[in-house]
Amino acid sequence: MNIILLGPPGAGKGTQAQLLVEERGMVQLSTGDMLRAARTSGTEMGNKVAAIMDAGELVTDEIVIGLIEEQLQVKDGNGFIFDGFPRTLAQADALGDLLTANGQGLNAVIEMKVNDDVLVERILGRAEDARKAGEKVRADDNEESLKIRLMEYYKKTSPLLGYYYHAGDLKAVNGLGTIDEVKVEIAAILG
Ligand code: ADP
């Protein structure tokens, strides 16, 4: 079973993906995590994406599609959870093509619905907690980058809702619930 978790930054995609990995043996493919790993590697690609990520903008389709293509070839498990990918229509088309080429498809696209006030509160709160605890704060978890991340989401990623709705794959869950409530809603969709 292959699924996409779709929603704005702070919607809880990573948290739910982690639970699906633990409980169902699925494989999480988070382009955000892959890019954060790439930037610490000191490679040319890593350096190029670091500045873009910190500003809250999207890195190029070519880079993230390449990362996903690579992972689809090396990872194996009880299905893939695409977390933070696709984020543009070009990425959505590319994912469809890659899955088809592997004789696979998408089983569900789960929209995690949350309102913007909550997103801003969650992300800036998370940064504040980390700061108080002396932990590392994500360079893009500040008010300015967050505003850009949200605008990128509305301009480039939210059209995917219509795209997947018409493909017949879209399901929504209430991302304002507790972690457990959201988990139960997702389980009801996946069966
Ligand atoms: P969040 O969902 O909290 O914004 P992510 O970890 O998914 O965080 O992504 C962090 C950053 O990585 C994004 O702001 C963007 O710069 C880059 N990124 C991640 N996934 C993609 C993608 N599919 N396409 C383009 N850029 C991406």
Annotated catalytic residue: which of 39, 149, 156, 183? 149
Ligand 1 midpoint to CA 20 (Å): 20
* Phi and psi, residue 126, nearest 5°: -60, -40
Q: What is the pLDDT of residues 132-191, one digit of tens each?
A: 999 999 999 999 999 999 999 999 999 999 999 999 899 999 999 999 999 999 999 999
- 178 CB neighbour count, 10 Å cutoff: 8
- Mark whether 132 is an active-site residue: no
- Mark whether 36 is an active-site residue: no
Ligand 1 midpoint to CA 57 (Å): 8
Residues with CB under 6 A from ligand 1: 9, 31-32, 35, 52-53, 56-59, 64, 84-85, 87, 91, 140, 149
- Mark whether 138 is an active-site residue: yes
What distance in Å separates the CA atoms of residue 104 and residue 1, rounded to the nearest whole number?
A: 9
Ligand 1 midpoint to CA 183 (Å): 22
| Ligand 1 atom nearest 49 alpha carbon | 16
* Phi and psi, residue 174, nearest 5°: -85, 105
User: 49 pLDDT band (50/70/90 cuts)?
Assistant: very high
**pLDDT mean across residues, the chain:** 95
**Model pTM score:** 0.95
